[in-house]
Each structure stands twice: as C-alpha cells, then as structure tokens.
Amino acid sequence: MEDSTLKRFGISMEAQLLQKFDRLINQRGYENRSEAIRDLVRNALLEHSWEKDEQIVAGTILLFYDHHQRNLLEELTQAQHEMHDNILATTHFHLDHSSCLELIIVKGKAKDIQQLSHKLTSLKGVQYGNFTVAPVERI
Ligand code: NI
C-alpha cells in the first residue's frame, strides 16, 4: 500500500533560479512551492514510467530547428522512416530564413513514442523539442 504521509525535506538552489521558479508558480496559480514541486515530480515520474510502457498513446512531437545544421534533415527523415508505423503525419513550417517548425503526429506504444521523441529532440541542431501524448484505449 502507498504511504501518503507528508515528508519534509530541504532543497538548495541558486537564488536566481528560485526567483524565476517563484515567478512561474505565481503565474500558474500554485498556493506554494511544495504544491508546484509535487506536480513537477509527478510529471517526471509519469514520463519515466512510460519508458517501459506498453500503453498505446497518441499525441505530438514538436521540433524547432535550424535547417542549415549539417546532416540534420537527413537524420530527421531517417529516424521518422525507421518508425513509420508510429507516425500518422508530419507537417513542416518554414518560420524564417533558417528556422523550421516540425509537428509530428504520433501513435503507438508509449515506450516507442518516448524513444522516438528522445531521439529526435536530442539531434544536433534541434533547439527545442516538446512531447505531448495522452493514453488511448488499448487496441
Ligand atoms: Ni523549413
């Protein structure tokens, strides 16, 4: 059975980082730091638990990148072809002379989608990556 007793522990962080964190939790309407940290921990655990998960999920992988980065386009294309069963659609937007935004709609086992997302967002030249999925019914 899960132990739901509240435990206290201390956290150290740079003053500047804490200041930014306080601004963020204020904007998001959290009552206090503990509440915000609990949510962060829950999200991290949820994401981690998906790494071995057979649950079918669907959602998006969002990538911002510089298309001038050497080999990046080839690597992105190859990684997506390797997982073509999990990719429902890819939409590419040319934001300006060098920046691209790519939105990939995915569906499949959570562990596979997670792996694909890690692979794509860690490619050199990808400046920002975001991964959002939700469970769908088992097939
Ligand atoms: Ni582009």
The pLDDT tens digits of the residues spanning 42-94 come to: 887 776 666 668 888 999 999 999 999 999 999 999 999 999 999 999 999 99
Same domain, 102 and 41: no
Expressed in angstroms and rounded, the spacing between residue 133 Cα and the centre of ligand 1 is 24
Domain final position from 5, 28, 50:
50
- The whole-angstrom separation of Cα 47 and Cα 21 is 21
Same domain, 130 and 98: yes
Q: Mean per-residue pLDDT for 103-131?
A: 93
Same domain, 95 and 31: no
Write out the residue range of the structural domain in which residue 19 sits.
15-50
Instruction: Please tell me the predicted confidence (pLDDT) of residue 2.
Output: 67
Expressed in angstroms and rounded, the spacing between residue 100 Cα and the centre of ligand 1 is 4
